Structure 1
């Protein structure tokens, strides 16, 4: 099926925003149509021999491959672990496939692989299989990495946007936009009075704590990567059929990130994050879950930012600092290419 309004792939199709969603729906989901895929979760949930497994895959094409706070290897492991973790699984095993451009320095490859090992050790997972391909000069940009991950989901646990109910509380584990701005600054040679680092980190410890504290009151979790907070909230609203209201003044953004975004004309709510968590929880569980999030280093800046509505189905509304309310749309186009 033809992608509406498009005849060729554009960079925006990889942004994680509206173009990406259209590409997924009109090409991939339409062709591979099946009940597991149609859930469109961060990881597929599989029933195998009486066990429930989470299975996910991702590809990483970061530019630059080394950046403040991480590198393409660290983000490859953390990104895959996080997709499993927000699906309610205990991440266990990863694969790693490399596409390497001819002429790429082996010391840089060793650095990337060591970074992957360190991230895997921190997350408590193992890289157990992989593949390597080398392509000619100019047929790739340095190195691309594909990972897949498998985890186990405890019996009785079900996380899905379809579980969201009016009155549920929306929590985030920390500041928004750090990774996207760190990549932009490194790529463009920008410097700020206060350096900005990527938030790249595994989330499986904080997701486990959230699930232990909230139990079946945890409706769903997501990591707001490509397209940022705004796009991920739109995905949750669309999949749940519920409206979501968030308050601008409550959304945590570092002062230096906000200042740089204002200077560059970028909205931090659309910048990628690689170590932050969105959790939608029942109101009676919100206080306990927030307390637990704040008790961990990766969640010490956690806050409540909004709630699920009984009206405005599929829309995300932003209450501005001036008291007005506007629709917060999904990312359109590609403001910051190759951030993950």
Structure 2
């Protein structure tokens, strides 16, 4: 690109737009479907599909472990996969503030392309809008994902059953604290970085090699506690969480203590919750621990019949290190704004 900053002309649909699309987006996102340059993408999918869309407004747009672009790819890939599907295609829409450095946009696009390649998905269609200064904070990105269902029946938050094991693929709260500490210039969490990552390969392996997966979820906004409350409500069960079994990095725990935050409610962007029969839990953990992004997988709780548990249907009960119990309620509002 000859221009050093984004101009309103780059969103005009004219020659400047064509240069931006050809010299930047097609250069890094190019594939046979996108390169057709049609108004829509013709997709080859058989059978049931899953679909998800999300918009990303994270501040700051670069943070240890990723940026707004990689987050947009990972977040939508993971959402599509959580129903027991293989993500195949992404659309990508950019809303960009006039004056953004072209080098900044190119870095985002290059790392988005790398993230899509790792997840084995194609970016097949998209849109770019450039708006006047002040109308948007640097850059917002929307991604929509489409995937092929690879289970006979999609997983669901309503499928947890008493006796099931609750597994997580790794430590909680890394992304939320990383974004907050970088936004505010805090340095107590210098060894922590975002966990943003594609989880679809772990999910596909669990489906193909373990089977009988009841629930898959990624505990993003609202964190582990809020997501488990949603599952307990959908399935009308009680979920017991063992506090000292939930993995939290010491630096995250210390940062949360300093700020008065609870790591159980912090966002994660590269961790999954897997709920399946207890007899399959050890095999699932062994498999996840052999895979990238699943090395620290552990069982953190169990699903209980409300009639024989310390809680009611739809509740999450936390067992403390002293053996007591307390309710772990759903997050009331947004704990940290603009983290995704």
| TM-score of the pair, normalised by structure 1 | 0.84
Which residue in 2 is equivalent to 1:4? Answer: none
3-state SS in 2 of match to 1:200: coil
Distance 2:248 2:338 in 1: 22
Offset of 1:322 from its aligned partner? 2.0
* 1:245 corresponds to 2:240: yes
Q: Describe the superposition over 1:75-117 as per-residue Cα deviations: whole angstroms up to 9, x where unpaired.
A: 0000010011111111110000011111111111111111110
3-state SS in 1 of match to 2:128: strand
* 1:321 corresponds to 2:317: no
* 1:210 corresponds to 2:212: no
Which residue in 1 is equivalent to 2:188? Answer: 192
Distance 1:319 1:268 in 2: 16
Offset of 1:192 from its aligned partner? 2.5
Gapped regions of structure 2 (runs ≥ 5): 1-43, 307-311
Distance 1:74 1:154 in 2: 25
Distance 1:298 1:335 in 2: 25
Aligned counterpart for 1:152 among listed residues 145, 148, 153: 148
Which residue in 1 is equivalent to 2:17? Answer: none
* 1:175 corresponds to 2:171: yes
Aligned counterpart for 1:82 among listed residues 73, 78, 82: 78
Which residue in 1 is equivalent to 2:215? Answer: 220
Distance 1:95 1:262 in 2: 39
Q: Describe the superposition over 1:228-252 as per-residue Cα deviations: whole angstroms up to 9, x where unpaired.
A: 1011111111111111010100000
Which residue in 2 is equivalent to 1:257? Answer: 252
**Structure showing greater Rg:** 2
Gapped regions of structure 1 (runs ≥ 5): 1-47
Offset of 1:155 from its aligned partner? 5.3
Q: Describe the superposition over 1:135-185 as per-residue Cα deviations: whole angstroms up to 9, x where unpaired.
A: 111111110000000110125133112221101000000000000010011
CA contact (8 A) 2:222 2:335 kept: no
Which residue in 2 is equivalent to 1:285? Answer: 280
Distance 2:201 2:162 in 1: 28
CA contact (8 A) 2:219 2:227 kept: yes
Which residue in 1 is equivalent to 2:264? Answer: 269
3-state SS in 2 of match to 1:159: coil
* 1:106 corresponds to 2:102: yes
3-state SS in 1 of match to 2:48: strand
Distance 1:111 1:309, change over 3 A: same
CA contact (8 A) 1:57 1:146 kept: yes
Q: Which runs of 4+ in 1 moved over 3 A?
A: none
3-state SS in 2 of match to 1:87: coil
Which residue in 1 is equivalent to 2:230? Answer: 235
| RMSD of aligned Cα (Å) | 1.4
Which residue in 2 is equivalent to 1:35? Answer: none
Distance 2:97 2:189 in 1: 36
3-state SS in 2 of match to 1:307: strand
Offset of 1:298 from its aligned partner? 0.9
3-state SS in 2 of match to 1:279: strand
Q: Describe the superposition over 1:280-315 as per-residue Cα deviations: whole angstroms up to 9, x where unpaired.
A: 001121111111011113111100000111002111
Offset of 1:49 from its aligned partner? 8.9
Q: Describe the superposition over 1:24-66 as per-residue Cα deviations: whole angstroms up to 9, x where unpaired.
A: xxxxxxxxxxxxxxxxxxxxxxxx9961101110100000000
CA contact (8 A) 1:214 1:281 kept: no
Distance 1:150 1:131, change over 3 A: same
Distance 1:193 1:264 in 2: 12
3-state SS in 2 of match to 1:147: strand
